[in-house]
Structure 1
Amino acid sequence: MSRTAQDVLEFDGLRELLRLRTTCASGRRAVNALEPGMERAALESAFALIREAAQWLRAGRELGFGALADPQGWLERIEGLGAALEPGEFLDVLSLLETAGWLRQQFREEAMNFRLLAARAAALGDFRDAHRAIRRCVLPNGEISDAASATLGRIRVSITETRDTIQKSLKQILRARHAEAGEDYVTLRNDRFVIPVRAEHRRTIPGVVHGASATGQTIFLEPFETVEANNQLVQLADDEAAEIARILRELTGQLQIIHRPLRLAAETIAELDGVFARARFARDFDAAMPEFSATNELRLQGARHPGLEDKLRKENRSIVPMTLTLGGEERVLVISGPNTGGKTVVLKTTGIAALSAQSGIPVAAERAVLPLFDRVLVDIGDEQSIAADLSTFSAHMLNLKTMLQAATPNSLVLVDEMGTGTAPEEGAALAVALLDEFRAKNCIVLATTHHDRLKTYASTTPGVVNAAVEFDEVNLRPTFRLMVGVPGGSSGIAIAKRLGIATGIIERAQSLLTPESREAADLVAYLHRSRDELDRLQRQMTSERHALDEERKKLRTEWVERQHKRIKELEAQFAVMHKRFDENVARVVEAVKERELRAQVEKTTRRKMQDIRSEAREELHAAVVETISESQADLGIQAASPDAVSADRLQPGAKIRVRGFSKPVLLRRIDGSFAEIEAGPLRMKVALDEISGVEEAAPALQSSSPARRSAAMTKST
């Protein structure tokens, strides 16, 4: 990707939106390093990680590294031979070690739900030993602890004792000479303890002068009797500094041993901060994770330029999303329409979507399907012509020449105002020839124009498609909506009228238009009206289809409830009949007095009762099936019957789906073109074509043939 393309398409503005969503300096550097690439596996891996981060954010959680001090400086310093970090830098090291430990713990508990994030965190080193060593040596205020070494502890005890001895001696001298107010204190000069003495009393106390006050009236004197103790204190201070330096070198040496894990931890935290910045961007801008097309298809649905959207938000305005599809045979889009109508925004939105996707940044769109472009070639704006002292036309031609030389079948070409800057006829002819050349190279091309000849070219050339940015002819202002499939009018006179050009001038301009121009404008207006009507009808159809689906769902729910209620009523009726029949049989048997005859009557009666029960149950089943069939016919459910289920799958014992039943039922046996099923307490026969599927195959124990299964059932009865 050329640096020019990134500049023109405002790619760094996109990175700035990400930088604002980082939480640490290393995360900002990670965002700055984002560049377009072509490694599909690496990009898909990055987006998988961003998806998990977005899922984390959707759960109402955050992940920030605001407490992390920038590790870049000390990581570079410890690479040097004999390096020694300063005490304050060790506090920065601690912030990295503690952040790494916190991350490991955080995602250890979430490994099942956030597999990729947990894997990153698990790769962080275990720095507990280094953490303990630094904590033992460096205090929270950045000073070296007395416990850093036994030697340092002894030196500091000696320093305290020597200092106390010196101060005690000096205070005795002050008391002995009855020092006046303002001269009765001990102070330091040149790292040695001294006392203030008035200049005229200089010779009353033998000692070494270490300075005087600003007025010269007071000198600061070190009495000879404390010189040796002060010398000892200076030596102890040097010993302390040497021991601290040794401790710092030793600690730094421990860090040098784990330098690579430390750098990996810093890089991982920077990566995760960048990942969560991109996830926050996706949340804030409703951005999508792109799909990479294997067939060079470019499909953007509801796409927006994030930089423009951010600017409009700050002005309490909303952006108009765009939708377009290119690929296959149609690889060139010619966009026409009025100035200030948004043609250039279409180019920049498409370009920034490509750069975003190939940099591992979610695309500001509802959906984005993009090829992996090897180059994004742009000719937008006049900045280069101004800098190079060229005419606009010459600058565009030189840029287009370079683009033609660089273009490949995997390139995205974006050209603004193609063919401008020279005579309209020549410019249009050049534009057609250039588009033909890009088309021959099989690039995906988006070009904007005002030339009617290019609109005609797009309408008559295979693989080239017209598009328009819509202009509201009633309110005389652009709507910024992209309409693919129709050319746009320039609407120059209409815009001039809206901007307040005198009516007479507007009417004169309209009269000077050629009949062909007026006819072309009328045709474009007609196409736009037709497109608007088509869009309206499509929206209406979608709305009506949605309403119909909702009504069908409602009717189906009501139907199922009615069937359950009807089945329960039939079951209740059957239970009442069964009870009455049993009572009548009991009375008949009881009426027979003779024992043998009574036993025979009871046996015969029970056999008859079994037959009558079966007949009654069959009648109940038939009534249920008839009720269900009638209700299905009312809803038109039979019209959508599925394909028949293969006979070899319909084995007794299988759980099957039967139309009209909300849950799977048990298949008991096959009887010709009917199947006997069991649904709760009910058994019934249904036609085989009522079976819509097999939910659960028959158990191995019940996988015998239908004939054997039927025989077994008969024997058991």
Structure 2
Amino acid sequence: MDKHSLEVIEYYRILEILKNKCHTPMCREILSTFSPSSDFELIKDSIKETDEAKDFINNEGGLSFSSYQDMEDIIKKVKVRSVLSGEELSKVKENLSLFEEIRREFEENKLRYPYLYRSASKLKKFTDLRKEIERCIDEEGNVKDDASSELKSIRKRIRNLRQKIIEKLESLFALSTYKNMISDHVITVRNGRYVIPIKRDFISYFPSIVQDTSGSGKTLFVEPQFIVQKNNELIELKGKEEQEVKRVLTALSNRVSDRINDIETAVSIVGFLDFTFLKGRVSNEWDCVSPVFVEKKKVRIEEGRHPLLEKEKVVPISLEIGENFRVLIITGPNTGGKTVTLKTIGLFVALAQSGFHVPAKHFETGIFNEILADIGEEQSIEQSLSTFSSHMKHIVRILERCDDKSLVLLDELGAGTDPEEGAAIAQAITEYLLKKKSIVAIATHYPRLKEFAYKVEEVENCSVGFDPETLKPTYKLHIGIPGESHALTIATHLGIEKEVIEKAREILGEEHLAKEVIINKMKRDQTIIEKDKLSIEATKREIEERKEELEKLLNEIKEKRKEFLLNAKKEALKIIEDTRKRMEELLKNIPKERKVVLEEKKELEKEEEKIAEEIVSQEKKIVIDWDEIEIGDLVWIEKFGKQGIVLNKDEEEKKVQIQIGTMRVILPFEDITRKITEVEEIPDEEGKVELPTPETLPMKIDLHGKTVDEALVKLDKYLDSASLAGFPFVYIHHGVGTGILRKAIHDFLKTNPHVQRYTTDPENGGVTIVYLK
């Protein structure tokens, strides 16, 4: 995107501020080269990552990156096969621990935060390398004794030898012979060798090698002759120690080198996650919302706040461009908020397309390929360009690059030159941008552009609020109303002579004053409309909340009803089971009064039948849901004791029109007990066939799509069952088609002994109504 435009809308200033909130240098590096994207998939994923980071912070307490150690120089050393120091290896170990902690954290929460896990899952495991460094290097970066058996042995010998040397030197302090020669009872080290301080005057009396001299020259630090060999041995052991330490460090460095690609990847991932969690933290700090992206090129801001302004003092703005109009002309007094509005529009779009949340109650935008802005007063002394020339230079660039996927923001368009010519140029530029179908916001003082907005359907006026009493802007936007400069009002309050003010009004003329009156009335009307709108929105929200509560209550009632019926059925079945057990127990222990037992058995059987009937009765009372009922369904109407076919549904009244024989009725859907599906006659265990009843046999048969032979066989069987069930009439669905199946069915009905007469349904030629004998 255009860098100058991003600069003037303060996008880069925001990024600079955010750098101070980064925990890692990689995050700062990302911000240094960052810019908005126009790739929808990338933007969508980035917003999802920000959403999850914010949720993670709010739910899990965030993710700490403060323990990360900068590895840029370490990675460079490893790549050229340099040996890392103990301190550098300690930093590597700290970072490996961080990598593992991050991976483990998201492994445990991968279902809750899938987008963040997608990145964290790419972190490799470094357990073996981390443990080896921990085994060999301590917290201060020193190589441990246990790094190798050889090093452990060498250091033990060094400690023993050092102790012997110190003991021998301390024995000199106890001898009276050397009492006056030794300047202080202190053992120190010079040139890697243990020495004691001797007064210069006694050096000839003390067999030794001078290793150093004090600042005054009066004291010599000497190595007594009798410990020279011991010091030599100690230096030799230290040389071996250094060699072994270097070997350990080299081995560890090589192991780090073997994993350097994985480590670099991990560093990059941690930088990315630090950046993503920065976006989540900023969303909380700025009280942001996740942007909504739409296909249409538009911008809608609801109570948006520029992030660089104090939240407590800033007046939120609400506007929409691109839905009903594509160009917004913003007018009003200086310092009224026109420029801030332009910057807020551009900044919100840029931040959203960078994967950030925006500080607003709601923000909706299309994806723009370009954000093109000319904002602020600029002069170029080096190029001898005036304010007008500087603006025009940027306008040229904007007009060359703009198209129907561009957001264009222009501040004081046409200013800095002759007002008439400037206004003409401003209008011409606006018309050109309209032709290019860009989404445009323009801040201006020109009346010509205000009038232009009234004449062109795709252009709308907008004014920034101003309080004439306090002479201060309110910063509130009024869409649909042009702004005023309030120059005469301000001049009057500042004490300009009344005569001068009146003359100015005279020069402006009645037409101009009439416009001011109209505009003021429009503002008052809009204030009333906005209050009404807020009241309506509040009422709407209250209704929606009440609706949700009622729906929730209704669902709870339905669930409780189902639960009650289920419990009742279980209780009834339990009673039946207990009854059976009682009967079986009695039969096992039949007394002599057999007649009494048999009578009690009959009573129990009657009780069982009664309970079973109650269960059936409860099932019949169950009302099916409204959404389960479909036009054409065959249903059972308990109050009529008959079947019917659903012809129509009234969504508002929740009523159904049902055909019951030749009668059509409209009933509440609660009167429908259940749906009836076509069933086959199934022999019972004794080979008998259950007789069909009006409750079990459908009063319609669907033969649509069957061959003539198949249809007639099925119809013959169905008519037998319908006659046995005592149906006065039935419905045959055969469809319209070519008419062959309908003709065959009608011919069959003419000779069927169960048929009294038949007729085609007057409202559906694909159905025949058959009246039975």
TM over 0.5: yes
- CA-CA distance at 1:159 after TM superposition: 1.9
Q: 1:50 and 2:45 equivalent?
A: no
- Partner in structure 2 of residue 76 of structure 1: 76
TM-score for both structures, normalised by structure 1:
0.77
Instruction: Mark the CA change 1:35 to 1:548 in structure 2 (over 3 Å): closer, same or farther.
Output: closer
Shift of 1:227: 2.5
| Alignment partner, residue 95 of structure 1 | 94
May I ask how many residue pairs the two structures share in their alignment? 628
Alpha-carbon shift at residue 276 of structure 1 (Å): 1.6
Partner residue of 1:204? Answer: 205
One-letter code aligned to 1:142? G
- Which amino acid letter does the alignment assign opposite residue 122 of structure 1? S
TM-score (norm 2): 0.72
Distance 1:643 1:708, change over 3 A: closer
Q: For residue 521 of structure 1, report the CA deviation from its aligned partner.
A: 1.9
1:55 is displaced (CA, Å) by: 1.9
Q: Does the 8 Å CA contact 1:431/1:454 hold for their aligned counterparts?
A: yes
CA drift at 1:429: 0.5
Give the SS at the match of 1:307. coil
- Aligned partner of 1:137 in structure 2 is 136
Preserved CA contact (<8 Å) 2:151 2:244: yes
Counterpart for residue 730 of structure 2: none
Q: Secondary structure at the match of 1:152?
A: helix
Preserved contact between residue 492 and residue 498 of structure 2 (Cα < 8 Å): yes
- Indicate how the Cα distance of structure 1 residues 559 and 200 shifts in structure 2: closer, same or farther if over 3 A, else same: closer
Alpha-carbon RMSD across the aligned residues, in angstroms, is 4.3
Gaps in structure 1 of 5+ consecutive residues:
569-598, 626-640, 653-657, 659-665, 676-684
Judging changes above 3 Å, is the alpha-carbon distance between structure 1 residues 670 and 377 closer, same or farther for their aligned structure 2 residues? Answer: farther
Q: For residue 402 of structure 1, report the CA deviation from its aligned partner.
A: 2.0
CA pair 367-547 structure 1, distance change in 2 beyond 3 A: closer
Supply the distance in 1 between the matched residues of 2:673 and 2:151 (Cα, whole angstroms).
Answer: 79
Q: Which residue does the alignment assign to 1:691?
A: 669
Q: What does residue 241 of structure 2 align with?
A: 240
Structure 2 residue runs of 5 or longer lacking an equivalent are 565-598, 648-656, 659-664, 683-691, 699-720, 726-773
Q: Which moved more, 1:96-105 or 1:547-556?
A: 547-556
> Are 1:362 and 2:363 matched, yes or no?
no
Q: Note if contact 1:291-1:369 (Cα within 8 Å) is conserved in structure 2.
A: yes
Deviation at 1:45, TM superposition (A): 1.0
Structure 1 equivalent of residue 223 of structure 2: 222
Shift of 1:39: 1.9
1:59 corresponds in structure 2 to 59
Seen in structure 2, the aligned counterparts of structure 1 residues 225 and 411 have a Cα distance that, compared at 3 Å, is same
* Distance in structure 1 (CA, Å) of the matches to 2:105 and 2:5: 41
* Residue range with higher mean Cα deviation, 348-357 or 70-79: 70-79
Say yes or no: does 1:709 pair with 2:696: yes
Which letter does structure 2 place at the counterpart of 1:237? K
Q: 2: distance between equivalents of 1:699 and 1:162?
A: 102
CA 1:541–1:226 in 2, change beyond 3 Å: closer, same or farther?
closer
Question: Displacement of 1:44 after TM fit?
Answer: 0.9
Following the alignment from structure 1 to structure 2, what is the Cα–Cα distance between the partners of residues 696 and 146?
85
1:356-392, Cα deviation, whole Å (9 max, x unpaired): 0121111222222223222222211124535644211
Aligned to 1:492: 487
1:118–1:266 CA distance, 2 compared to 1 (3 A): same
Q: Is contact 2:46–2:354 with CA below 8 Å preserved after alignment?
A: no
Query: Does the Cα contact within 8 Å between 1:191 and 1:234 map onto a contact in 2?
Result: yes
Counterpart among 624, 630, 637 of residue 646 in structure 1: 630
Aligned to 1:322: 317
Amino acid at match of 1:123: K
Q: Distance in 1 between matches of 2:675 and 2:136?
A: 70
**Structure 1 contact 469–483 (Cα < 8 Å) conserved:** yes
Q: 1:509 to 1:218 in 2, by over 3 A?
A: same
For 1:101 and 1:669, the matched residues in 2 are separated by 72
The farther-off stretch of 13-22 and 69-78 is 13-22
Contact 2:288–2:360 (8 Å) recurs in 1 = yes
The farther-off stretch of 693-702 and 66-75 is: 693-702
In the other structure, the counterpart of 2:3 is 3
Which protein has the larger Cα radius of gyration, Structure 1 or Structure 2? Answer: 2
Match of residue 446 from structure 1: 441
Give deviations 1:257-296, integer Å, cap 9, x for gaps. Answer: 1112212222222222221211122222232222333222
**Equivalent position SS for 1:78:** helix
- Residue type of the partner of 1:709? T
CA contact (8 A) 2:630 2:646 kept: no
The one-letter code of the counterpart of 2:56 is: W
The aligned residue for residue 404 of structure 2 is 409
1:337 aligns with 2:332: yes
Q: Does the CA contact (< 8 Å) of 1:669 and 1:709 recur in 2?
A: no
Between the aligned partners of 1:140 and 1:693, the Cα distance in structure 2 is 80
Partner SS for 2:440: strand
How far apart in 1 are the matches of 2:86 and 2:475?
A: 59
- In the other structure, the counterpart of 2:293 is 292
| 2:461 partner SS | strand
Report if aligned partners of 2:291, 2:363 keep a CA contact under 8 Å in 1. Answer: yes
SS in 2 for 1:346: helix
Shift of 1:126: 1.0
* Distance in 1 of aligned mates of 2:554 and 2:397: 69
| Change in 2 beyond 3 A, CA 1:203/1:702 | farther
Alignment partners' CA distance in 1, 2:681 and 2:511: 81
Once the two structures are TM-superposed, the CA of residue 643 in structure 1 deviates from its matched residue by 9.8
Q: Distance in 2 between matches of 1:159 and 1:187?
A: 16
Aligned to 1:630: none
Question: In 2, Cα distance between the equivalents of 1:668 and 1:228?
Answer: 122
Q: 1:306 Cα shift? A: 0.9
CA distance in 2 between partners of 1:15 and 1:506 (Å):
48
Q: Distance in 2 between matches of 1:353 and 1:380?
A: 16
Q: Partners in 1 of 2:628 and 2:153 — Cα distance?
A: 94
Q: Distance in 1 between matches of 2:289 and 2:674?
A: 39
- After TM superposition, the structure 1 = structure 2 runs for residues 512-523 of structure 1, keeping only pairs within 5 Å, are 512-523=507-518
Residue type of the alignment partner of 2:427: V
- 1:638 aligns with none
Partner of 1:168: 167
